[in-house]
Chain A
Amino acid sequence: EDQVTQSPEALRLQEGESSSLNCSYTVSGLRGLFWYRQDPGKGPEFLFTLYSAGEEKEKERLKATLTKKESFLHITAPKPEDSATYLCAVMDTNDYKLSFGAGTTVTVRA
């Protein structure tokens, strides 16, 4: 069974204070690892897909990286508008549905 563990559960940052979120996963075979952003009262919004170890993707102040056991979401010089819950999910090679972690809630103070 696919397992996804995210840490920390919550992260409070000062504006401009860079940090990283961790997503550890266990799958029989990885088809893809996905990062989503979820704002309160909203549905998740797709950010990135990573397919193989060593791959990196960037979008504005966010950069996602992937190893064979975990993924990191780096937030560089965050702004208050980066405050959200960040969800990590995996898709097994033998499947088509996502298995999500519980998320990391990031709060950025001005």
Chain B
Amino acid sequence: GAGVSQSPRYKVAKRGQDVALRCDPISGHVSLFWYQQALGQGPEFLTYFQNEAQLDKSGLPSDRFFAERPEGSVSTLKIQRTQQEDSAVYLCASSPRTSRNTGELFFGEGSRLTVL
């Protein structure tokens, strides 16, 4: 069966470039999360969508980061004017549950971003 799909799997950007990372969650999953994982660290929360509504964006590191999920399915994480500290793996996760029942997540394989 189809799991969470992320693209591109690898992205190399020059400092200052804009990048867009795509996430296709499991069909019908209401909740969608973006996490950032630095090398050797655990994932850190970026933002949360319930259907098309972005309920929490408190983890986004700066206003250069923007996420959307306009139709409640596919989501895009956009990073403007990339910096070297943005280099990380960006993980998308979805869940059929909402709000406080979202601990059991289905993760994609991630998009590895390298900023030169």
Residues of A within 8 A of B (CB): 4, 31-32, 34, 41-46, 49, 87, 89, 91, 95-103
Asked whether B105 lies within 8 Å of A98 as measured between CB atoms, the reply is yes
Asked whether B99 lies within 8 Å of A96 as measured between CB atoms, the reply is yes
Contact of B103 among A4, A45, A49 (CB under 8 A): A49
A51's nearest neighbour on chain B, judged by CB, is B103
Chain A positions within 8 Å of B43 at CB level: 44, 87, 98, 100
Residues of B within 8 A of A (CB): 4, 33, 40-45, 48, 56, 59, 91, 93, 99-110
Chain B positions within 8 Å of A31 at CB level: 100, 103
Asked whether A46 lies within 8 Å of B104 as measured between CB atoms, the reply is yes
7 chain-A/chain-B pairs, Cβ below 8 angstroms: A43-B4, A43-B91, A44-B105, A45-B107, A97-B48, A98-B45, A102-B42
Q: How far is the CA of A49 from the CA of B100 in the complex (A)?
A: 14
Chain A positions within 8 Å of B105 at CB level: 44, 46, 98
Contact of A32 among B93, B103, B106 (CB under 8 A): B103
A62 CB to closest chain B CB (Å) equals: 16
Asked whether A34 lies within 8 Å of B104 as measured between CB atoms, the reply is yes
Asked whether A43 lies within 8 Å of B107 as measured between CB atoms, the reply is yes
With A101-B42, A102-B42 known to touch, is A91 a contact of B103 (CB < 8 Å)? yes
Asked whether A102 lies within 8 Å of B33 as measured between CB atoms, the reply is no
